[in-house]
Amino acid sequence: MKLRVHLLLLRMFGALPRRVRRILVRLGSPKYTVGAICIVQREDGRILLVKQSYGKRWGTPGGLAKRHELPKDAAVRETKEEVNLSIRLMSEAVVVVEPVPHRVDVVYLAQAAEPALIDAVRPSSPEIERVEWFSLIDLPEMQVETIAALQALSRSGALDLSGTNLV
């Protein structure tokens, strides 16, 4: 009986105009936001973490991509906006999907475009309270998204987390 009802509903759906079917599929599909995260690493291996004004744990520069903005461009823009640092992306994009908040994070390993300026990194957005460089073996308490981003880069081979408690 259940199979018959299912087939009947599929036939009814198939009889609808194509435009109506598309609208119904879009309405029933989950919507995701797309964010870009940068793990900025110095030559000595330390990574840049930020303390946001609205959170207790450390995170990374990054944020939501604007409509029609490429994630790599969002990563570069957000890092410049938040910590006044121009960066070069050093890895291919790694994707982390978080189904519950309906978020896709596109993660990159990056370096300062001008390494001489890494000591001048400072908060340059009201959402950032502090910035610090941390050794991978002495990391503070971090946001879940930051841990997932580091682990994703490690799985891709872009970042070596051996010797840390994140493996």
Residue 3 has a pLDDT of: 73
Same domain, 70 and 151: yes
Q: Is residue 43 part of a domain?
A: yes
Same domain, 131 and 64: yes
Same domain, 13 and 42: no
pLDDT tens for 6-37 read 778 878 887 889 888 888 877 877 688 899 99
Look at the alpha carbons of 35, 83, 135, 42 in this order and tell me if their dihedral is positive or negative: positive
Q: Is residue 164 part of a domain?
A: no
Say how many domains are in the chain: 2
The confidence band for 72, taking pLDDT boundaries of 50, 70 and 90, is very high
Same domain, 129 and 47: yes
Alpha-carbon distances, residue 77 vs 32, 156, 163, 165 (angstroms) = 21, 24, 32, 30
HEC states along the chain? CHHHHHHHHHHHHHHCCHHHHHHHHHHHCCCCEEEEEEEEECCCCCEEEEEECCCCCEECCEEECCCCCCHHHHHHHHHHHHHCCCEEECCCCEEEEECCCCEEEEEEEEEECCHHHHHHCCCCCCCEEEEEEECCCCCCCECHHHHHHHHHHHHHCCCCCCCCCCC
pLDDT tens for 34-52 read 999 999 999 999 999 999 9
The residue segments making up the domain with residue 6 are: 1-30
Residue 32 has a pLDDT of: 82
Kindly report the CATH number assigned to the domain that includes residue 129: 3.90.79.10
Q: Is residue 162 part of a domain?
A: no
Give the separation between CA 56 and CA 40, rounded to whole angstroms. Answer: 20
Same domain, 15 and 72: no
Same domain, 78 and 138: yes
Choice between 148 and 67, residue whose per-residue pLDDT is larger: 148
Same domain, 71 and 114: yes
pLDDT tens for 115-143 read 877 888 999 988 899 999 999 999 999 99
pLDDT tens for 102-120 read 889 999 999 999 987 788 8
Whether this model's pTM surpasses 0.85 = no
Same domain, 68 and 127: yes
Residues 6+ apart with CB under 8 A from 79: 38, 40, 61, 62, 85, 86, 87, 110
